[in-house]
A and B are shown apart, each in its own frame.
Chain A
């Protein structure tokens, strides 16, 4: 089975632009979470979606939004990009929405976003 797939792997955007990042979870997984990892820091929680509904949101501005599709894939959208949005964006998929289940989270390799 394929792991968690994220696209694109890298992209460069200009300040003020909009970006859409995509994530395909492991087959059978119903939950997708998004994390932002700024260089030199640990990942920060942005969103979690389970069965197409938002179950949690981190401390990020409204410029960040996401959705989950019927096939459980997900998009993360960021509007009005700032230089500080430059980061590695990680997607994690899991069967259930809790961190403590027997299945755990599987992370993708991430999308490296550079805002210039």
Chain B
């Protein structure tokens, strides 16, 4: 079945460091891909998305590019801030899934000042 694999955390970075969180997927067809972020004590919220190959999703300085050839959707940010400390989830939704999102296990990011 469809699945998402993302790098294990936790990831600890200093402020202004470069961030990459790897995500690869397995799916039939061409799913839509998402990154969700969960701040402490809150529910998940959509960070960015891409719906077809070579699309780049971006938001709040974060970017991810839908790479069909490598089945990847890595999350990047050029300069992280303390406020970016959160858990990041990669997710996919297959077009025939009637709405079901499949999530990776999440990667916890801690940014130190």
Co-assembled chains A and B: no
Binding site for A on B (CB under 8 A): none
